[in-house]
Structure 1
Amino acid sequence: MSGDFDGLIVAITGASTGLGRAIAVEVAERGAKAVVVNYARSAAEAEETADRVRAHGAEAVLVQADVADDADCRRIAEAAAGFGRIDALFNNAGVTKFAQNHADLDAVSGEDFLRLYQVNVVGAFQMIRAARALLEAGERPGAVVNTSSIAGVTGIGSSVPYAASKGALTTMTLSLARALAPKIRVNAICPGFIDTPWFGRGLDEAGLERLRQGVAASVPLKVASTAEDIAASAVFLASPHSRHITGETLIVDAGTHLGYAPLRAR
């Protein structure tokens, strides 16, 4: 699919590492003209993402901003204003609270819920609102891809607030796909495990390797997905190849969801 992003303008939140970085590199490889690389704190890692984007011939624009802040979301959008449009917006920024024993209701607080919702849900909404005019300015409908999670579909994951926030993001994807058509397409991906520092927090290399092996042994496809594996699916939803797709939630989890109750809705 090399060249399907030729000349396109892309904005990615949470792009300093992991999936966001992999998306940035993927669109640059596929011909993007410019990539707005948002990060909250990791300046050095964001610079590395920008260097990789430039190595593929795309312009990289770095913007430090917290999507929980509406004014910061507007600054991210403004970074693309000089190009006259945004062809694809990836709402990838996200946070969690690690409390994997969901039965321990004292492990999380109301403040945890509010912080996760403010970034994972409200932040994505604010970014779409801030970028709306630029997403509508191109010849083709602008594309939004929200990074949700299998946690939001099955109620598993790092904590109850995280799963709940990702479920809300998936519902919002449906609402905005309906409301913003035909000028903007809105879709979401739901990854499972991704072999990135996010999933390896607090683990040494031996522990991380055991985690990878455990995931690969437990999922139907017998793999531990990399950021690049997931990025390809996210980029598909923003590409011309998915121009007739909106309001869709694509589960990209190597089959993890197959071990849970039948899914009547995504």
Structure 2
Amino acid sequence: MNLVLTVLEIVAPVFLLALIGFTWVRTGHEYRLEFVTKLTMTLSVPALIFTALVKADIEPAALSALSLASVVAYGGVTIAAWLVVKMMGLDSRTYLAPLIFGNTGNLGLPLALFAFGEAGLSYAVVVFAAMALWSFTFGVYVTAGGGSLGKAFKEPLVWATALGALFLWRGWTLPPFAMNTLSLLGQIAIPLMLITLGVAVARLHPHGLGRAALMSLGKVVLCAGIAALAGLWFNLAPVPFAVLVVQVATPVAVTSYMLAEKYGADSDAVAALVVSSTLLSVIYLPVLLALLI
């Protein structure tokens, strides 16, 4: 009973904030999705990443192990997803990126914070950074039919991760006024990302939800299993192991829909994956957390 209450305390704020965003739009209120997304991804999320890493109490060996495990996990998921897409005869431009990339930002970071505290958030940032770098390069390439490594290095969150890792490695910090400013800026990221998730889901126009739900279930099993194997291979401690599994197993990212819409893939099919996997996550994420806590 205590475990059930603990899991509910972790996941309830996440889905309630998303529900606020969903209800806000459904009741006719305005929400500038593009502006808020740009604000969070350009300013607040990089600030959150940097301050989380600077303040993190992570041993260099643990940081290296989690970084390598994240790379291996996403490499394994990429190969497995490519095989699934080819065997099922699906359009790789539409389905490959959604099957690989989860919502490690909007959902993964808050879940790690609520479940495992500041240490969990620090670990989650590492996994998020690995996913983001792969998404901005390979993800764009497969969806658009072209991409470049240079695009990834134009993203503020990539530089925030690199600087945060450098400060963590060297034991550096910034003057208190600068850290306090960045901390305040970073604190708006998580509630804004969750509300924005609800807004984005409310505005999607999916089709084929039944098929999408089956694919979403397959994605969860595939991603959680491969992440667990990677965590065991690198002998991760319980908290980084749990964070890695939860992050990689998060539902399909809304950014996958945005990329499909931008580059002419089947955005309605991707929207169905986003909606079905997000709804299923209300069930499977608590179960996953109960197994890992």
Q: TM-score, normalised by structure 1?
A: 0.32
Q: TM-score, normalised by structure 2?
A: 0.29
Higher strand share: 1
Higher helix share: 2
> Using CA pairs below 8 Å that are at least 6 residues apart, which structure has the higher relative contact order?
2
